[in-house]
Amino acid sequence: MTIFTAPLKTLSGSDTTLGAYAGQVILAVNVASKCGLTPQYTGLEELQKTYGSRGFTVVGFPCNQFLGQEPGSAEEIQEFCSTTYGVTFPLMEKIDVNGDDRHPIYAELTQVADADGVDGDIRWNFEKFLIAADGSVTRFGPMVTPEDSSLVSAIEASLAN
């Protein structure tokens, strides 16, 4: 199983995989609705609007493992994201990103270290993984905002390849 073949469900319950975005650059982000970093949804949506037509997509993975900051049902998460932040990028079902029930996609992603050399468990909501079309992964910590020049440059470089 790979990050492209691991089974997923969308927030609406449909079966999918990241393979549905084959050939695209994907920014996988564990998201939460009641976190101090939740306003990053605005920047993530801006990335989607800016680069979506060029073969890029944000994919959000709601997760309730960090102080219970994503307590809502799928319907509540969808409504919050669409009405509060105008989110148009795909959201998957709520998953675990750490621990014994860690989703297989995150079992793969967490093996990658970020620019500070940190790998392993997800540290907090809004940790980001840029997955290039060739499957290579670049990790960004939760405090790296969607507008950060290091993330934007990495997206642009991935889209140029």
pTM: 0.97
Q: Is residue 118 part of a domain?
A: yes
Burial class of residue 55, CB neighbours in 10 A (0-12, 13-18, 19+)? middle
Is 27 part of any domain?
A: yes
Domain residue limits at 104:
8-160
Residue type, 33: S
Give how far the C-alpha of residue 29 lies from the chain's centroid of Cα atoms, to the nearest Å: 2
* Annotated catalytic residue within 6, 20, 35, 133: 35
Is residue 3 in some structural domain? no
**Cβ atoms 35, 85 nearer than 8 A:** no
Residue with token string 């950060």? 148
Q: Clarify whether 35 is annotated catalytic.
A: yes
State the 10-residue block means of pLDDT for the chain, 161 residues long.
90 96 95 96 98 97 97 95 96 97 96 93 97 94 97 96 77
CATH of the domain at 26: 3.40.30.10
Q: How many domains does the chain have?
A: 1
